[in-house]
Amino acid sequence: MKRLHVHVSVDRLESSIAFYSALFGADPVTRKPDYAKWLLEDPRVNFAISRKDDNATGLNHLGIQVEDEGELAEVHARLGAANIASQTESCARCCYAESDKHWAVDPTGIVWETYRTMGSIAVYGDDRGQNVAQILAEPVPAAACCNG
d(Cα 17, Cα 116) in Å, to the nearest integer? 25
Query: What pairing do the DSSP bridges indicate for beta strands 62-65 and 111-120?
Result: parallel
Q: Are 16 and 35 in contact (CB under 8 A)?
A: no
The mean per-residue pLDDT over the stretch 33-62 comes to 77
Q: Where are the domains of the chain?
A: 43-134
pLDDT tens sequence across 63-99:
888 889 999 999 999 988 998 888 888 888 878 889 8
Arithmetic mean of pLDDT over the chain: 80
Q: What pLDDT band is residue 110 in, cutting at 50, 70 and 90?
A: confident
Look at 33 and 52; give whichever has higher pLDDT.
Answer: 33
Query: What residues contact residue 120 under an 8 Å CB cut-off, 6+ apart?
Result: 96, 97, 98
pLDDT exceeds cutoff 60 at 138: no
Choosing among 3.30.70.20, 3.40.50.460, 3.40.640.10, 3.10.180.10, the CATH entry for 43-134 is: 3.10.180.10
Neighbours of 33 (CB within 10 A): 6
pLDDT tens sequence across 90-102:
888 878 889 899 8
